[in-house]
Chain A
Amino acid sequence: MRTKKGIGASPGVAIASAVVLDTEEFDIPERHVPVDHAQTELARLRKAVQLSKKEILDLQKRSTERLGKETASIFDFHLGMLKDHLLLKKFSETILSGHVTAEYAVATVLRSYAKEFLSMPKYLAERVKDVYDIEKRLLRNLIGQKRQALDHLSREVNLLAHDLTPSQTANMDRQHVRGLAIDAGGQTSHTAIVARALGIPAVVGLNDVTAEVAANDLVIIDGHRGIVIIDPDERTLEEYRQYAHQQVEFIHSLEYLRELPAITKDGHEVTLMGNIEFPEEAEAVLEKGGQGVGLYRTEFLYLGSDTEPTEEDHYRAYRQVLEVCQGRPVVIRTLDLGADKYTQSRQRTPERNPFLGLRSIRFCLQNLSIFKTQIRAILRASLGAEVSLLFPLIGNLLELRQAKTVVRDVIEDLEEEGIEHRADLPIGMMVETPSAALQCNAFAKEVDFFSIGTNDLVQYTLAVDRANEKVASLFTVAHPAVLRLIREVIRAGERHDVPVSLCGEMGGDPEYALLLLGMGLRVFSCAPSAIPEIKKVIRSVTLEHAKRVARRVLRFDWDKEILNYLRAETRKILPEVYAD
């Protein structure tokens, strides 16, 4: 039994066998497998060799046609390596004697040959690149087998990876993945957000968990304590089974809240909505007692496939959610991509500082055809439904006005073409940069609502990259500077009669519910799984109490003091959350 400490990113406990994803760079860690798994590894190796042979034959055929027999003859050498009985024997022996994965065996054996070839006369040393080529091909075929397994798994698993790209999470088989454990990242990394959205436990920032766990190891992911236990002993396993059981009981114990309103003891009503990433989650929002969708992220449309989504793809995804919600409000946020593979791969030179670069609304305003396609679909889908449009990352008035102009242009186009749509959607903006928060009085005159995005607001206010594990501990929404900005926005909303919601991670954390309520927030939007807890907090307090808490918090100078105080206050209301 081994225990790895990381950062708890999504609460809960998952007990399941492991699936391990390698990094794309094929940097193969030495990964041991139990003795009785050697046969599985040998079978994987044989399959990868076969697949690689077939690929090379195809390649050889095509290049013979295009480039002539002479040039294509280099593939004889590639095939020769895959047919080399001594080489294949070495792979198998390494797997058997070292109890390692096929990937590790292939990489070490071939790299030792490559090293030897490098010391030879030049024309032989050049063959090193053919050896690397074969290594890559074999690894891709080995890892590819696992990769594909990710979108249709046949059993429940805990997924371990160095990091998950948004497209990997979008393609993930959500029925069978019970928990996530990731080497990289902090509490608000993409993986953490997805895990909370899906309501599955996750631990991030584990540094090298993928090197220590082999496929099929039994793994416990404890998202509450932020630990991963590999090969647990019987006693630990039993404790966790009980703990998992208690958690399920706790969740059941909150089910009675579903039909009850989110109202304080002294009668002040709060609106509780759910954040969703995928259309299928809309049902979870209602099941958990949410009053609508407060944030519908639309990035999955772009990340789940290799081709750009069509207007119809958008339209179908929006209708799917609106039909589930049946007249309840749905806030659709326009494309919030950037600082990731999607936008970076579209640029000739990668940005030096992508989080301060062409992302989100900035990307949309420079790629109007993508932006217009999405807005057309939203306006069409909203016919007869309660939809609001939300622009992300607005930093100055010009951006807001430009984005609104695009909406007007699209409405004109639709009218000219005689296509049915809704033209009077409320338009709101995310407040997620200090510039927007500090200028919120000016913005309030030009929008129908504000939505505070705490993840980016913290990142940009505190200058901390939330995915960089070296500084992730500095990332906290409890920083007094962040809290003051949030208070400013809520106040501006009150002053100008503009509704303010909060849809960042903070909104789903019961520790902050009391504070936000006291600061004047009346619309919370959070992961569906967090709705019952937030409702429980709200129904357990008076507004007066919450206001006292908020006044006290705003006098503290230090995030640790604030967090400790809020934790103590919340513990009084929701002791079950701290059952450890």
Chain B
Amino acid sequence: MPILEREVEIVNKYGLHARPAMQLVELANAFSSKIEITNTALTVDAKSIMSVMRLGAAKGTVLRIVADGADAEEALEAITGLVAGGFGEE
């Protein structure tokens, strides 16, 4: 089982607020892999909204995404795509 990781910067104006955080969590829940997000201080479960909110990640924060499981590759691809694309926001 591969453990893969990738870094991605938050580019949308208001960072990881409630709506983008929900998008991220829903996306993460679509995969069977265990997925964690790390900022400088904290590592949290990407499938838990309360945990992702705790990151309090603002614009410019670099997140490291770690995926562990059969679909780790696809999961990383999708999640970093969502974050780097600014969650479809400005």
Contacts and interface: CB of A to CB of B under 8 A. Distances in A.
B43 interface: no
A116 B54 CA distance: 7
Interface residues of B, number: 19
B50 A81 contact: yes
A80 interface: yes
Given A76-B22, A116-B54, A123 B14 contact: yes
Interface residues of A, number: 20
A69 to B, nearest CB: 12
B17 A124 contact: yes
A84 interface: yes
A320 to B, nearest CB: 55
Given A80-B22, A80-B25, A124 B45 contact: no
Contacts of B25: 80, 84
Interface in B8-45: 14-15, 17-19, 21-22, 25-26, 45
B49 interface: yes
A130 B26 CA distance: 18
B56 A124 contact: yes
Given A84-B48, A86-B48, A87-B50, A121 B15 contact: yes
Contacts of B18: 74, 77, 124, 127, 130
A98 B51 CA distance: 22
Interface string A67-85: 0000001101100110111
Contacts of A117: 53-54
A87 B53 CA distance: 12
B49 A73 contact: no
Given A74-B18, A76-B22, A121 B56 contact: yes
B19 A76 contact: yes
Contacts of A127: 17-18, 53
Contacts of B56: 120-121, 124
Contacts of A83: 49
B62 interface: no
B58 A86 contact: no
Contact of A81 (B17, B26, B49): B49
Contacts of A556: none
A116 B55 CA distance: 10
Main secondary structure of the interface of B (DSSP, over half): helix
B56 to A, nearest CB: 4
B47 A85 contact: yes
Interface string B54-80: 101010000000000000000000000
B22 A77 contact: yes
A558 interface: no
A76 to B, nearest CB: 5
Contacts of A76: 19, 22
A73 B14 contact: no
A113 interface: yes
Given A123-B14, A123-B17, A86 B22 contact: no
B15 A86 contact: no
B51 A86 contact: yes
A120 B45 CA distance: 19
A131 to B, nearest CB: 8
A127 B14 CA distance: 13
A87 B58 contact: no
A86 B50 contact: yes
B62 to A, nearest CB: 16
Contacts of A113: 50, 53-54
Contacts of A116: 54
A121 B51 contact: no
B74 to A, nearest CB: 21
A578 to B, nearest CB: 60
Contacts of B15: 121, 123
A116 B50 CA distance: 11
Nearest to B26: A80
Contact of A84 (B17, B19, B50): B50
Name the residue in B15, B26, B54, B56 with the highest tally of chain A Cβ atoms < 10 Å from its Cβ: B56
5 contacts: A84-B48, A86-B48, A113-B50, A127-B17, A127-B53
Interface of B: 14-15, 17-19, 21-22, 25-26, 45, 47-51, 53-54, 56, 58
Given A73-B19, A80-B22, 8 more contacts: A76-B22, A81-B49, A84-B50, A86-B47, A86-B51, A87-B50, A123-B17, A124-B18
